[in-house]
């Protein structure tokens, strides 16, 4: 009955958001458009495996279910890190690439924030044009294959001021957790060398 109602509706809204425990908590996307049936042959094995891992259902079970697709006519995106939101063209949304290290990003965030606090402060100072003496703390907020976001807390900032967010792009997009870890190691070394005047 629900499937038939969705198919019969002129427009449907599909909303997805980051988990409350995720660094992107509060970030979400809304797709507004029409609904259509999807044949199981049009869903590749990797998609089924991903859905299996997230739902707890076996791939065989998911293969027997009815699948629907929302074809968006309008797309709204909210970015909690930058406290921004905007409407995105559907074709731009369709061309967007997934975060290649998304599944492993949480591990990297925990590791770097726990073991590299001084490196993050130095990096924000060197590459974010911040005076290190004015920085109270730095937190790696998010990381993807294109770059990462560092939140900078100033010593003289009030609790209402929030964080200054610095976005840094990777020179070469990492495809794995190991490549991302290696990229951060090199960036931290470069920041130290620049701070010492060696570069």
Q: According to the model, what pLDDT value does residue 160 have?
A: 58
Residue among 113, 121, 143 nearest 192 (CA) = 121
With cut-offs at 50, 70 and 90, classify the pLDDT of residue 129.
Answer: confident
Q: What is the mean pLDDT of residues 83-112?
A: 89
CA angle (14, 98, 39) in 5-degree steps: 55
**Mean pLDDT of the chain, nearest integer:** 89
Residue among 48, 123, 107, 85 nearest 137 (CA) = 123
With cut-offs at 50, 70 and 90, classify the pLDDT of residue 1.
Answer: confident
SS3 at position 134: helix
Report the distance separating Cα 81 and Cα 163, nearest Å: 9
Report the distance separating Cα 146 and Cα 100, nearest Å: 9
Cβ–Cβ under 8 Å, residues 64 and 71 = no
Q: According to the model, what pLDDT value does residue 16 have?
A: 92
Q: What is the mean pLDDT of residues 65-71?
A: 91
Q: What is the mean pLDDT of residues 57-67?
A: 92
Q: What is the mean pLDDT of residues 154-161?
A: 73
Instruction: Give the contacts of 31 (CB within 8 A, at least 6 positions apart).
Output: 13, 14, 15, 70, 72, 74, 75, 93
Q: According to the model, what pLDDT value does residue 22 have?
A: 73
Q: According to the model, what pLDDT value does residue 127 have?
A: 87
Q: According to the model, what pLDDT value does residue 10 have?
A: 87
pLDDT at 21 over 80: no
Cβ–Cβ under 8 Å, residues 166 and 153 = no
With cut-offs at 50, 70 and 90, classify the pLDDT of residue 161.
Answer: low
pTM over the 0.85 mark: no
């Amino acid at each position: 009955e629900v499937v038939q109602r969705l198919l019969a509706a002129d427009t449907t809204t599909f909303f997805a958001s980051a988990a409350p425990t995720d660094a992107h908590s509060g970030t979400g996307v809304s797709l507004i458009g029409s609904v259509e049936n999807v044949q199981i042959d049009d869903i590749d094995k990797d998609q089924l495996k991903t859905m299996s891992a997230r739902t707890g259902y076996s791939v065989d079970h998911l293969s027997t279910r009815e699948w629907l697709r929302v074809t968006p006519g309008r797309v709204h995106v909210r970015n909690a890190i930058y406290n921004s939101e905007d409407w995105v063209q559907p074709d731009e949304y369709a061309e967007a690439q997934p975060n290649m290290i998304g599944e492993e990003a949480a591990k990297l965030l925990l590791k770097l924030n726990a073991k590299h606090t001084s490196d993050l402060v130095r990096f924000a100072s060197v590459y974010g044009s911040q005076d290190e003496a004015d920085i109270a703390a730095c937190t790696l907020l998010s990381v993807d294959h294109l770059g990462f976001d560092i939140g900078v807390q100033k010593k003289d900032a009030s609790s209402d001021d929030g964080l200054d967010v610095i976005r840094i792009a990777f020179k070469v997009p990492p495809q794995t957790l190991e490549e991302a870890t290696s990229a951060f190691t090199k960036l931290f070394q470069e920041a130290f060398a620049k701070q010492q005047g060696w570069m």
